[in-house]
Amino acid sequence: MTTGRTPEPRDRATSGREWDARSYHKVSEPQFAWGKRVLSTLALAGDEILMDAGCGTGRLTSLVAERLPGGSVVAVDRSENMTRVATETLAPFRDRSSVVLADLSSLPFRSAFDVVFSTATFHWILDHQRLFAELHRVLKEGGRLHAQCGGGKNLERIHHRAHVLMRAPEFAPFFGDWRAPWEYAVVDVTEERLKRAGFTDLDVNLEPAPVVFPDGEAYAAFVSTVILRPFLARIGNEGLRRAFVDRITAAAADDDPAYELDYWRLNIRARR
C-alpha cells in the first residue's frame, strides 16, 4: 500500500546521485561503443594531460590511457560507486592515470588540462552554463573540449511512456515533486552557452543513434540500470519497481523495431 509521502531512496546505489556501477559496467555497451567512436576522432600526440569528465567505470578511460604513453589521464566522476570501479579498471595504467571523486560543476583544478574529454555525461548536469564555465577554467590556454552527450529529442519515446506511467494511481504518490534530472540541449543553445563561457572554434551537431536490444530481458536490464534509474529510485516498493519496468518493456515489444531506444547524441568540439 502506498502513501502520499514521497519515500526516501532505498539506498545509495539507486539514489539520484549514485549508480549501481557494476551493473552499469555490464550493460553499458551502447555508451562504450559511442565513446570509442568519439575517441577515434580525437587527435592526440600522446603526451597530453587529459581529463575524462564523467569517467563512469573507466572502460573508455583505459582506452584513453593507452593513447597517452607520455601523458596522463585524470578520471573524474561524482559517483563514489563509479570511481571505486574505475580505480580497479585503471589499475594496469597506474603510472599514467588517477581517479578523482568530484562534481564537474565544481572541479578542484585550474588551467591543468590540454584536453577535456567526455561522453554520455553532460546531459546529467542541469546547469550547462556553469558546466562549460568550469570546463573552460580547468583547460590550459588553447586546450580542447571534445565531448558527446544526449541532446535534442533524446529518448523521447521511453520518457513519454514513463511520464504517463508515473501518473497512474499506484505510482503517482512517489512522483509528487518530480523534476527531470537531465538536460538534453539543442545545437544553437549549446553554441551560445559555449561562447558565453569563453570557448571558440565551435563545432556542435546532433546525430541520431538508435539502439535495438535483442530481447525484452536485455532491454529491461539496460533501462533499469540507466534510463529508468531516476524513476525507480523514487519508488519505495520492489514489486512496484518491477511492475514499472515490466510495463515499459511490454510497450517496447510493440515498437518497430521492437526494443529500440531512440537515442540522439550531441557532439561538442571547442577550444579555450
**Nearest by Cα to 6 from 176, 126, 220, 188:** 176
Return the residue matching grid coordinates 594496469. 92
Regarding the domain with residue range 12-153+181-212+261-271, which homologous superfamily does it belong to in the CATH classification? Vaccinia Virus protein VP39 (3.40.50.150)
Q: Report pLDDT for 32.
A: 83
Query: Cis bond leading into 257, ω under 30°?
Result: yes
User: Which grid cell sits at 257?
Assistant: 523495431
State the Cα–Cα distance between residues 142 and 49, nearest whole angstrom: 13
The distance between the two most distant Cα atoms of the chain, rounded to a whole number of Å, is 60
User: Distance between CA atoms of 68 and 45, rounded to whole angstroms?
Assistant: 8
pTM, to two decimals? 0.90
> Is the distance from CB of 79 to CB of 54 less than 8 angstroms?
no
pLDDT of residue 17: 59
Digit-by-digit pLDDT tens for the chain (272 residues) are 233 333 333 333 334 557 665 666 566 677 888 899 999 999 999 999 999 999 999 999 999 999 999 999 999 999 999 999 999 999 999 999 999 999 999 999 999 999 999 999 999 999 999 999 999 999 999 999 999 999 999 999 999 999 999 999 999 999 999 999 999 999 999 999 999 999 999 999 999 999 999 999 999 999 998 999 999 999 989 999 999 999 999 999 999 999 999 999 999 999 99
Classify residue 11 by burial, with Cβ atoms within 10 Å: 0-12, 13-18, 19+. exposed
Q: What does the domain layout of the chain look like in residue ranges?
A: 12-153+181-212+261-271
Mapped onto helix, strand or coil, the DSSP state of residue 211 is strand
Q: Is 174:2 a contact under the CB 8 Å cutoff?
A: yes
